[in-house]
């Protein structure tokens, strides 16, 4: 899937592109149906909400679940990102975020590149986020919110919030959010929240400031977040375990466009459980060479 010149321009201006209904209901179902069993596993890769058993985020399903391994190699997802970054890509992070009915907690305002730089020593922001909705997203179930154009600010100072939710995040303070929203149009477009059916996809810049509210509705809002990084921009530090920040910098080979609906062999290296190496971290004085 090649992007048009107008889409390139729009991405440069707004920092995101929205593709409503990009994957069909049949394709999306192959993914959604696999989620309850993955979430039921008592494994380190399932992070639960604070004070609740609901899964907030599941990491690295593409390493042990066939439908998600196929999604991680899907040309409709990989090709536009490669087009925008102009380079081959590897998978830096793979999450299935729950935001479950009544239970899903907030994601504070942040830039993803803040975490990738501070924790993983990713050299530049040449990496991209892709969100794929596995449920319909509406105004009630905690849609992702963006401040359009905020990626132009580059990397913003952030503080490491270890207490608000069950997941540590480098977050942006409220005064700066107020200014960024004002500059983006205030009440008239200063915040956007793309909504649409399951199967919709959003591409967004790793410096785009984003957040989401809690889900007080009876509707789940499960979504896959894939973070693709230009191969030359691979991370330089392994402070976080491999199931969170991947260490295989091999370019992603794409499968055919119909891969979600057909049998294509995919490797599932962690299908029998997480290897000990996936839990290991290195300290600052053991940085990998660039
Ligand atoms: C994220 O920013 O990584 C997740 C946000 C969300 O799931 O709403
Ligand atoms: Mn994020």
**Ligand 1 close to Cβ of residue 212 (< 6 A):** yes
Letter string b/e over residues 124-134, b meaning 16 or more CB atoms within 10 A of that residue's CB: ebbbbbbbbbb
**Ligand 1 close to Cβ of residue 107 (< 6 A):** yes
Mean pLDDT of 274-287: 74
Residue 289 in this model has a pLDDT that exceeds 70: no
State the CB neighbour count (10 A cutoff) for residue 208: 25
Cα–Cα dist 188/157, whole Å: 26
DSSP string, 16-32: EEEETT-S-HHHHHHHH
Domain boundaries, the chain: 14-279
Cα–Cα dist 23/261, whole Å: 11
DSSP conformational letter for 255? P
**Ligand 1 close to Cβ of residue 205 (< 6 A):** no
Residue 82 in this model has a pLDDT that exceeds 50: yes
- What percent of the chain has pLDDT above 90? 90
Tens of pLDDT, residue by residue over 227-279, are 999 999 999 999 999 999 999 999 999 999 999 999 999 999 999 999 998 99
Tens of pLDDT, residue by residue over 165-193, are 998 889 999 999 999 999 999 999 999 99
Cα–Cα dist 224/255, whole Å: 18
Question: Closest Cα to residue 223, out of 4, 71, 112?
Answer: 71
Question: How crowded is the C-beta side of 60, counted as CA atoms within 13 Å?
Answer: 25
DSSP conformational letter for 196? B
Region of poorest pLDDT, from 47-51, 229-233, 242-246, 286-290:
286-290
**Residue whose token pair is 């660039």:** 290
Specify the CATH architecture of the domain 14-279. Sandwich (2.60)
DSSP conformational letter for 103? T
Mean pLDDT of 100-113: 96
Closest Cα to atom 7 of ligand 1: 97
- Mean pLDDT of the residues in the chain: 95
Find the ligand nearest to 135 CA.
Answer: 1
DSSP string, 27-60: HHHHHHTTHHHHHTS-STTEEEPTTSSSEEEEE-
Tens of pLDDT, residue by residue over 147-156, are 999 999 999 9
Closest Cα to atom 4 of ligand 1: 107
């Amino acid at each position: 899937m090649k992007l048009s010149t107008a889409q390139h321009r729009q991405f440069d201006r707004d920092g995101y592109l929205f593709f409503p209904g990009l994957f069909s209901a049949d394709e999306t179902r192959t993914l959604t149906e696999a989620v309850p069993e993955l979430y039921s596993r008592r494994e380190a890769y399932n992070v639960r909400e604070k004070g609740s058993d609901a899964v907030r985020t599941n990491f690295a399903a593409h390493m042990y679940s066939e439908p998600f391994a196929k999604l991680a190699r899907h040309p409709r997802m990989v090709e536009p990102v490669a087009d925008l970054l102009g380079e081959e890509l590897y998978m830096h992070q793979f999450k299935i975020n729950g935001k479950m009915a009544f239970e899903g907690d907030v994601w504070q305002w942040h830039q993803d590149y803040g975490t990738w730089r501070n924790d993983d020593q990713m050299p530049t922001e040449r990496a991209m986020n892709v969100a794929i909705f596995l449920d319909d997203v509406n105004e009630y179930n905690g849609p992702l919110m963006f401040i359009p154009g905020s990626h132009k600010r580059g990397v913003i100072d952030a503080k490491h919030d270890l207490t608000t939710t069950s997941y540590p995040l480098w977050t942006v303070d409220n005064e700066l959010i107020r200014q960024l929203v004002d500059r983006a149009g205030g009440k008239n477009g200063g915040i956007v929240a793309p909504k649409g059916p399951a199967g919709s996809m959003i591409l967004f810049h790793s410096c785009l400031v984003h957040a989401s509210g809690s889900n007080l509705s009876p509707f789940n809002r499960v979504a896959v977040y894939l973070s693709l990084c230009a191969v030359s921009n691979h991370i330089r530090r392994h402070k976080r375990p491999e199931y969170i920040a991947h260490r295989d910098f091999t370019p992603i080979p794409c499968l055919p466009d119909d891969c979600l609906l057909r049998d294509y062999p995919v490797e599932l290296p962690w299908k029998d459980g997480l290897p000990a190496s996936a839990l290991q971290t290195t300290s600052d004085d053991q940085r990998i060479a660039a």
